[in-house]
Structure 1
Amino acid sequence: MITEQSIIDYIATAWLDGDTEGLDSETPLTELSIIDSAGIFDLVHFLQSEFRITVPLHEVAPGNFQTVGAIAALVDRIQNEKEGAR
């Protein structure tokens, strides 16, 4: 999935010195301290720029950022809501 790969690449570049080894859609990002609460806001900025979405403040919750899969699901949900509003 393009969304997941883009997120993996960004996380690897921003926090793992470019190393994607062991990073997949189910890697527990917050549990392994790959991303902390401040990092979530950096990631939100990336998502908004990369996918041309607006992440509502109520969606900036730990559960939406636990794994790459959860983040990709958030992006898909926001994009679908955006498409449905047209």
Structure 2
Amino acid sequence: MTSQINWDVGLWVKWHYQGYFSHTQTVGHWRMASTFATTVGTLTNFSIAERNRFDNCLFQGYRGLAIRSSDLCPITSVSDSAVEIP
């Protein structure tokens, strides 16, 4: 039996610092994001994906550009009206 991945991205910018992207196209039917910039899972408690530059780029997908970082404070509980942070 083959498992199907329920998300995909065109370009994954993972923990990149001072990146320069020029005339870049990520065009397609991406289910998560056309371009996805992350620092999730780092061992540090600060972002190391700073100062990235995108000039004259074209992003197409479910989300054109998604940016995600690690939580600075761990969240232990979420409800409709509150977020619990120890």
Shorter-chain TM-score above 0.5: no
Mark the structure with the bigger radius of gyration: 2
TM score, norm. by length of structure 1 = 0.23
Q: Greater share of strand residues, 1 or 2?
A: 2
